[in-house]
Amino acid sequence: MSSNKRGNLVTVNTLEYASLIVNYVAATYVLVHVDPSTIDLYPVVLFYADNTAAESWMKKVRSSSEGARALGYIQAALMINNPVGICVDRVSTTDNVVADRISRVRSEAHLSTEIPALCQDFPQLRSCQRFHPSAELTSLILETLSTKKYVDPLQVSRRVLTSPGRITT
C-alpha cells in the first residue's frame, strides 16, 4: 500500500474538487455563451457533492492540501468577472445513485451501450448533453494537480473562459 507522506499522490478529494471546477466551467459556458438571453443577470449554479472535502473547498476556496489550494487559485481565477455564482450542498452517498452509475461506465468504448441503459433507468438524463472541456482547461488542471504550482488568476480567467470547451449530445 502506498502512502502520501511526500505529497506526491493525487487524492480522490482533489479529483472530486477538480470535477466541480470543470462543472462550474460547463455551467458558465451554457449560461453565458449558449443562450444568455434566458438567464438572470447574476445566475447561481447549485452543485451537489458527496465528497465533504471537495464541497468545503468549493465553498471556502481554502485547504491545508497543497493540491486543493492550487486548484482554489483556478476556481478563483474562473470566478473573476464571471456573473455565475456557486452554491454547493451535500448529497448523501446513498442518494447519489445517478452519479455513481454514470461514474461506473467502464470506458469511452462502452458509452454507446451503457448511456442508453442509463437513460432508460433515469429518464431525467435524456435531455442531458456532454461538456468537453478545452484542452487548455484539462491541461491546466492536470498540471496544477501534478506540480501543485499556483496559476496567475488574471491570465487563466481570460484564457480559459474565452474558450472553455464545447457541448455535444
pLDDT of residue 141: 92
Q: Is residue 111 part of a domain?
A: no
Please tell me the predicted confidence (pLDDT) of residue 121. 93
Instruction: Please give the full DSSP string across the chain, using - where no structure is assigned.
Output: ----TTS-SPPHHHHHHHHHHHHHHHHHIIIIII-GGGS-SS-EEEEEES-HHHHHHHHH---S-HHHHHHHHHHHHHHTT---EEEEEE--GGG-HHHHHHHT---GGGHHHHHHHHHHH-GGGTT--EEEE-HHHHHHHHHHHHH-PPP-HHHHHHHHHHS-EEEE-
**How confident is the model at residue 6, as a pLDDT?**
61
Say if 77 falls within a structural domain. Answer: yes
- Position 64 in a domain: yes
- According to the model, what pLDDT value does residue 57 have? 85
For 106-145, write each residue's pLDDT tens digit. 887 887 888 888 999 999 988 888 899 999 999 999 988 8
Positions of the chain with pLDDT under 50 = 1-2
Q: What is the pLDDT of residue 99?
A: 84
Please check whether residue 73 lies inside any domain of the structure: yes
According to the model, what pLDDT value does residue 62 have? 63
What total number of domains does the chain contain? 1
Give pTM, 2 decimals: 0.84
How high is the pLDDT of residue 1? 40
The range of the structural domain enclosing residue 87 comes to 12-92+130-168
Domain for residue 104, yes or no? no
Residue 31: inside a domain: yes
Domain assignment of residue 57, yes or no: yes
